[in-house]
Structure 1
Amino acid sequence: MVSEPGPALPRPLPGAIGLSHLTAYDWEAADGVCGGSPHLHLVCTEAYVVTGGRGSVQTLSPDGYREIPLEPGAVAWFTPGTVHRMVQGGGLRVTVLMQNSGLPEAGDAVFTFPPEVLADPGAYAAAAALPPGTGPDAQAAARRRRDLAVEGYLALREAALAGDTGPFLGFQRAAARLVRDKVPRWRELWRAGALAAAERTGAQLAALEAGEPGHLAEATAFRAAPTRRGGLGMCGRRDEYALPGTTLPYRTG
């Protein structure tokens, strides 16, 4: 039997992306739709790779409202500033790929709470927080959080469908204000993660061009398994990985 290698310091996933597996919530919201908490990311693109079931993702951006079908084999992704809401259609399960591993976990996500909540950082933090664990109290808090996000989202969507993008643009600005103080920490994570990965590729290209492929002597392999299953994320129940460059408590996705 060949034993598996066990390097002490594993490298990040390709491109320093983040990874999780997600099962969309089946809780019904005020509009009769079952699904997750609408939110946006400020600097990270997110992708859904659908591995099972059916559903959709509702998106809201300056170019309007869309509902993108999700079925096995489909891939959907959305850029920073796009509000997205995962909708459960039956057994929906996706693998989530997040740009800039470490930033989403450090708070690069803002819920579509009503304007009065967004205007008060203390009120926002209280509404966004969950108690530890996945028991009844945590589930009830996650559902209240989802419902409050849906409340704000439906107002944004109604205005956008009527041709008024002002409320949506106002939400984007409010989200930016909420995270402004976090930017220095995000810059550190970006430099150590995504930027470092890109710079490493640049150095490898230079080495190959010079005929000196010394970096190939460091070749190896890694393996990871979920460190937490069924965590309460923004969109649904989340299987999480403790990968290099990530800090899990924010439980995005």
Structure 2
Amino acid sequence: MSHVPLPGAVGVSHLSCYEWLAEDGVRGGSPHLHLTCTEAYVVTGGVGAVQTLTLDGYQENDLEAGSIVWFTPGTVHRMIQRDNLRITVLMQNSGLPEAGDAVFTFPPEVLADPAAYAEAAALPAKEGPEADAAARRRRDLAVQGYLVLREAALDGDDGPMREFHRAAAAIVAPKVQRWLPIWQEGALAAAERTGAQLKALLDGDASHLAQARVVAASPSRRGGYGMCGRRDEYELPGVTVPDAIRAAQP
């Protein structure tokens, strides 16, 4: 192995939920979904909630220190700030969200236009007033589309949600070929190593234990404006995430 991945080849980051007030009077992040990754919130401080939309309807889970909630691909999720909410995020398939496995709930006319979507989702800078304003604009635009989806869900109409799923799949389709090696070298390779180790132990071979290593890391950079809030990221030994793809991080 050129590097030692986190257990299960997951990604990890720390989030401080946005404080910005949205048009529905709620403070929080940008609603979005992932297409291939299950995500987990481990609440480390404060109070808040996560609002979710699936084909089963709308749900809101309260969050406080010690809470854990996780959701599978296709779940629209929106983090809600109530009082200094802080989250540690565990993300399946480390590297895929960074490579674009996330789609904002922008209105249908934006989702239907790849150039318009890219412009609305992009941040012009990593830090500073310009980045702050752009992150807030894209949050507000995502909330605009999300509220339509939520209203339909509350009325028992899953048509808009199904259409959003189709639009999200079309947006990421050009990226999927690039995701394959990330998955193959990450989560798949981790599972295959476990399989090889189990087989070796069945054969009485413990030689892989001689390769034991210890790796330590601390949050090494402020990751700027994610989808849900401000991020603290880890730069793990042997793992490089280019700045060009960090803008897609949740």
Question: Which bin holds the TM-score, normalised by the shorter protein?
Answer: over 0.9
Pairing 1:252–2:245 present: no
Counterpart of 1:5? none
- 8 Å CA contact retained: 2:33, 2:73: yes
Once the 2 structures are TM-superposed, how far is the Cα of residue 40 of structure 1 from its aligned partner?
0.2
Counterpart of 1:3? none
- 8 Å CA contact retained: 2:29, 2:228: yes
Counterpart of 1:116? 109
- 1:64-213 equivalence runs, <5 A: 64-213=57-206
1:181 counterpart letter in structure 2: P
Separation in structure 1 between the aligned mates of residue 246 and residue 105 of structure 2, nearest angstrom: 20
- 8 Å CA contact retained: 1:56, 1:69: yes
CA-to-partner distance for each residue in 1:23-82, whole Å, 9 max, x for gaps?
000000000000000000000000000000000000000011000010010000010000
Once the 2 structures are TM-superposed, how far is the Cα of residue 245 of structure 1 from its aligned partner?
6.8
2:154 counterpart letter in structure 1: L
Separation in structure 2 between the aligned mates of residue 140 and residue 200 of structure 1, nearest angstrom: 45
Counterpart of 1:22? 15
CA-to-partner distance for each residue in 1:116-154, whole Å, 9 max, x for gaps?
000000000000000122100100000000000000000
Separation in structure 2 between the aligned mates of residue 149 and residue 52 of structure 1, nearest angstrom: 26
Unaligned runs of 5+ in 2: none
The number of aligned residues is 246
Separation in structure 1 between the aligned mates of residue 240 and residue 203 of structure 2, nearest angstrom: 31
Match of 1:57 among 50, 56, 61: 50
Q: Normalising by the residue count of structure 2, what TM-score does the alignment of the two structures yield?
A: 0.96
Unaligned runs of 5+ in 1: 1-7
Pairing 1:241–2:234 present: yes
1:221 counterpart letter in structure 2: V
- 8 Å CA contact retained: 2:102, 2:248: no
Percent identity between the aligned chains?
A: 68
Higher mean displacement: 228-237 or 64-73: 228-237
- 8 Å CA contact retained: 1:50, 1:95: yes
Counterpart of 1:4? none
Q: Normalising by the residue count of structure 1, what TM-score does the alignment of the two structures yield?
A: 0.94
* Cα pair distance change 1:241/1:215, threshold 3 Å: same
Q: Which runs of 4+ in 1 moved over 4 A?
A: 245-248
Once the 2 structures are TM-superposed, how far is the Cα of residue 228 of structure 1 from its aligned partner?
1.4
1:249 counterpart letter in structure 2: R
Counterpart of 2:221? 228
Match of 1:11 among 4, 20, 26: 4
1:241 counterpart letter in structure 2: Y
Once the 2 structures are TM-superposed, how far is the Cα of residue 250 of structure 1 from its aligned partner?
2.9
